[in-house]
Amino acid sequence: MEKKILFKYIDDPNQINIATYIDHGGYKAWEKALRGMTPAQLIDEVKKSGLRGRGGAGFPAGLKWSFVPKDSPKPRYLICNADESEPGTCKDRVLLEHDPHAVIEGMAIAAYAIGSHLAFCYVRGEFAHPASVMERAIEEAYRKGMLGKNIFGTGYDLDMAVHTGGGAYICGEETALLNSLEGERGMSRIRPPFPAIEGLYSCPTVVNNVETLASVPPIINNGADWYASMGTEKSKGTKIFSLSGHVKRPGNYEVVLGTPLSFLVNDLGGGMLDGHKLKAVIPGGSSTPFLKPEQIDTPLDYESLAAAGSMLGSGGVIVIDDRTCMVWVIERLIHFYKHESCGKCTPCREGTGWLEQIISRIEQGEGKPGDLEKIDSICDNILGRTICPLGDAAVMPIQSALKLFRDEFQYHIDNKKCLVKSEFEFK
Amino acid sequence: MILNDTSIAEIKRRMAPYPRRKSAILPALTVAYRQVGHLSNEIYREISDIIEVPYIEVAEAASFYTMFPKEPVGKYLIQVCHNISCALLGADSLISYLEEKLNIKKGETTSDNLFTLVSVECLGSCASAPMMQINDSYYEFLTREKVDKILAELKQQA
């Protein structure tokens, strides 16, 4: 079911102003945390809430915070990952543009919880408007005493700044983001050490997604039990899903985790566009395996989607109708991953390029016998053999398509044309 | 000097929060890109002087990020998202339509130097497909009628 917690005031154009945000109960959680809770209590509260990272990996947020060493003499850093780039996912931009103080408040609480006095919001380069909204909101927060020196008279200091990226998908991966923030090329780092131990400038660092951080103030205001009462056993609270593709009402919708996919697609999204039939759904952003029409009632939560053979990922739900050629879909996706591979790991750098060549050839009607077996082999040699998850992300939709729609690929090779004709005319 | 006083002041302002100067490379490149429309070796040298890091480190970082054009582009850089959500709703035909309207091919600039047309990967506007970015602005839920109006307005503004 739809439940607006993060989106409660998303349609109020004044929500970007600190006065309106405060009128709506904003910054109460920050004050409550800073005046009345220790960092350890905050971390416990977020742990108890069951909040998991909303950027894609789904790692428990409180647990991530707890990995920061308590006795490190080095500075600690909190980074908000606003490098939203996973195809199909466009929820963080909405939060940044329409409720920037919710993100700032979440960042402030997280920073205090890990003992950080400097936080960065890494915004993808193309998001010029969201970045400027965040910058203005940060200035407002300083003026209102929510950031800066001796916040609420507690003696706690916190500085915050926006850092703009350069439009590289890989920089959404937290270690590549750290390199990028340090002025290096955005290439992933080998882990361990994990960022919580050695992150930005080799100091303890926590990187959390925008939606994750925006979820923190309501948890602190209402308590972990309130948050944990929503959702399923392993998927607590609400989640914003970006619904795109062949639906009548695409958009960003916040639902309680565990809500059936069919409710999102049919009730909130208005069902299929132009009366066509559902062919496949990508449930968690372009890197996640496809679901078939008979899986349309799968609950949108981490465990149910895993059991259905896919992933919740970043919540980018892409709906594909029966006019669509799946070879064409995969060609489009592998082009993306080849383009965005940072090039550090050979299996990813070479493998994505090789996959793109073969899949493009098949799509153009020049496939050869043995091509599908070659694709299988290349995928096997990328999966699990790269430093960061981009290699896996490139491979998972291909393996899924070959499992579920292999006949379409074979038809392309045998008949030198599409089994279904893709006709997507912009009107 | 290519960078003007406003850009130099903006780069210096953006340097302030970082404990290490090198972190200012990307923000500085962004400022330069917004002023000039593309990056070049001369710009890298100027940034290197302003933020006091070696030229090669600026150039090395810049070469990684495809968002910044490395050659001059038209006054309006039209970037059409052709990734999956936009593609499902006709991004390819949107590109064809723009090619026809502007009388150029993808990757080219109009003879009056007004428009450059390129396709790009996901711009994070999937639920508003099809869409395009022109300079810093997003244009969403595009139709032929909307595109005609946008181009006419930009031509008028120029």
Cross-chain Cβ contact A426/B94 below 8 Å? yes
Residues of B in contact with A336 (CB under 8 A): 83-84, 121-122
Q: What is the pTM of this model?
A: 0.96
Chain A interface mutation, best of B26, B50, B77, B132, highest count of A Cβ atoms under 10 Å: B26
Query: CB contact, 8 Å: B136 with chain A?
Result: yes
- Residue A423: pLDDT band (50, 70, 90) is low
3-class DSSP assignment, residue A98: helix
Mean model confidence pLDDT for chain A: 96
DSSP-assigned letters across all residues of A49-79: HT-B-TTTT--BHHHHHHTS-TT--S--EEE
**Closest CA relative to residue A114, chosen from A150, A160, A79:** A79
Cross-chain Cβ contact B23/A163 below 8 Å? yes
Interface of B with A in 19-58 (CB under 8 A): 19-20, 22-27, 29-30, 34, 53, 57
Please name the residue of chain B whose CA is at the shortest distance from the CA of residue A135.
Answer: B14
Query: How far apart are alpha carbons A113 and A40 in whole angstroms?
Result: 7
Q: Does residue A156 contact residue A34 with C-beta atoms inside 8 Å?
A: yes
pLDDT in tens, A264-302: 999 999 999 999 999 999 999 999 999 999 999 999 999
Query: How far apart are alpha carbons A400 and A343 in whole angstroms?
Result: 24
pLDDT in tens, A324-343: 999 999 999 999 999 999 99
**Closest CA relative to residue A382, chosen from A357, A352, A354, A347:** A347
3-class DSSP assignment, residue A81: strand
Question: Given a cut of 70, is residue A258 above it in pLDDT?
Answer: yes
Can you tell me the mean pLDDT for A200-216?
98
Query: How far apart are alpha carbons B121 and B80 in whole angstroms?
Result: 8
pLDDT in tens, A349-365: 999 999 999 999 999 99
Side-chain half-sphere of B15: how many Cα atoms within 13 Å? 19
Based on the number of CB atoms within 10 Å of its own CB, is B47 exposed (0-12), middle (13-18) or buried (19 or more)? buried
Query: CB contact, 8 Å: B125 with chain A?
Result: yes
A189 alpha-carbon distance from chain centroid:
19
**Nearby residues of B100 by Cβ (< 8 Å), 6 or more positions away:** none
- CB-CB: which of B61, B136, B138 is closest to A184? B61
Cross-chain Cβ contact B124/A124 below 8 Å? yes
The predicted pLDDT at position B42 comes to: 97
- CB-CB: which of B30, B83, B125 is closest to A332? B83
- CB-CB: which of B60, B63, B90 is closest to A426? B90
Chain A interface mutation, best of B64, B80, B97, highest count of A Cβ atoms under 10 Å: B64
The predicted pLDDT at position A385 comes to: 94
Please name the residue of chain B whose CA is at the shortest distance from the CA of residue A343.
Answer: B64
- Residue A418: pLDDT band (50, 70, 90) is confident
pLDDT in tens, A90-140: 999 999 999 999 999 999 999 999 999 999 999 999 999 999 999 999 999
Residues of A in contact with B136 (CB under 8 A): 128-129
A1 alpha-carbon distance from chain centroid:
21
Cross-chain Cβ contact A183/B61 below 8 Å? yes
Question: Which positions of chain B have pLDDT values less than 70?
Answer: none
- Residue A199: pLDDT band (50, 70, 90) is very high
Q: Nearest C-alpha of chain A: how many angstroms from B156?
A: 23
Question: Given a cut of 80, is residue A421 above it in pLDDT?
Answer: no
| Strand-pair partners of A119 | A78, A160
Which alpha helices (H) appear in A365-405, and where do they start and end? 371-382, 390-404
The predicted pLDDT at position A427 comes to: 85
A423 versus B67: the higher-pLDDT residue is B67
Q: In what order do the strands lie in the sheet with B137-139?
A: B115-120, B76-81, B132-134, B137-139
The predicted pLDDT at position A415 comes to: 93
Please name the residue of chain A whose CA is at the shortest distance from the CA of residue B126.
Answer: A88
Count of other CB atoms within 10 angstroms of residue B107: 9
**Closest CA relative to residue B117, chosen from B100, B130, B129:** B100
Q: Nearest C-alpha of chain A: how many angstroms from B34?
A: 10
Count of other CB atoms within 10 angstroms of residue B149: 12
Please name the residue of chain A whose CA is at the shortest distance from the CA of residue B54.
Answer: A183
- Residue A422: pLDDT band (50, 70, 90) is low
End-to-end CA distance of chain B: 25
Q: Nearest C-alpha of chain A: how many angstroms from B66?
A: 7
- Residue A424: pLDDT band (50, 70, 90) is confident
Question: Given a cut of 80, is residue A303 above it in pLDDT?
Answer: yes
Residues of B in contact with A182 (CB under 8 A): 20, 22-23
Question: Given a cut of 90, is residue A61 above it in pLDDT?
Answer: yes
| Omega prior to B130 cis, within 30 of 0 | yes
| Strand-pair partners of A156 | A151
Residue with tokens 């390129």: B118
The predicted pLDDT at position A206 comes to: 98
Which alpha helices (H) appear in A115-241, and where do they start and end? 128-143, 174-181, 210-214, 216-222, 224-228
Can you tell me the mean pLDDT for A19-29?
98
